[in-house]
A and B are shown apart, each in its own frame.
Chain A
Amino acid sequence: KAGVTQTPRYLIKTRGQQVTLSCSPISGHRSVSWYQQTPGQGLQFLFEYFSETQRNKGNFPGRFSGRQFSNSRSEMNVSTLELGDSALYLCASSLAVGQLNTEAFFGQGTRLTVV
């Protein structure tokens, strides 16, 4: 079956602009989480959605937001981009929440460059 699909793979934006990244989870998966990966800070949790509801949120400013649709696809949005937002953004999906043996499958990521 198809894996986690993130679009676009690469993106270049200018400071002050906003950007929307998309994540399509594996068919049947209802939980989607987002991570930011940078050389300096490593992998940091952004937020998690389950059944269209945000369950957890990491320590990021309000410029970072997300949502999940009824088909479990998720988008994240970053407004008023800053140079420091340049990163690889990874999406992970899993079948359910709170169950043993739940495995998170990661997409290939979206590489965002802010200039």
Chain B
Amino acid sequence: AQSVTQLDSQVPVFEEAPVELRCNYSSSVSVYLFWYVQYPNQGLQLLLKYLSGSTLVKGINGFEAEFNKSQTSFHLRKPSVHISDTAEYFCAVTRNTGNQFYFGTGTSLTVIP
């Protein structure tokens, strides 16, 4: 079975400061890793994904994440956050058998002006 742990439920950060949102996963098989963002009253939007290849993945809006197999982590980073980055961020895993995603509990990022 797969599970995802997002270590921080809330992360406040000042505008233009760097941020890291942590995600750890556990799985007995190879998985694919994703980060989604959710704005209030909206669905989920894909930020980035790791399927294979380079462990450093770049996504939209200046976000990037690094897949670390030995530490079973997939932390999300942004060097300089903007007010518009305030949202809920979800880490997710799936096997290559369909769209059955296992989501973490989410991290609420608040960017302070």
Contacts and interface: CB of A to CB of B under 8 A. Distances in A.
B100 A107 contact: no
Interface residues of A, number: 32
B59 to A, nearest CB: 12
Residue of B90, B100, B104 with most chain A CB atoms under a 10 A cut-off: B100
B103 A56 contact: no
A62 to B, nearest CB: 19
A78 interface: no
Given A4-B43, A108-B43, A33 B98 contact: yes
Interface in B84-108: 90, 92, 96-106
Interface string A57-89: 010000000000000000000000000000000
Contacts of B92: 43
A105 B43 CA distance: 9
A5 B106 CA distance: 24
A48 B99 contact: yes
Contacts of B90: 43
A99 B106 CA distance: 26
B51 A97 contact: no
Contact of B100 (A48, A100, A101): A48
Given A98-B96, A100-B51, A103-B49, A45 B44 contact: no
Contact of B96 (A42, A56, A100): A100
Interface of A: 4, 6, 31-33, 35, 42-45, 48, 50, 55-56, 58, 90, 92, 94, 97-109, 111
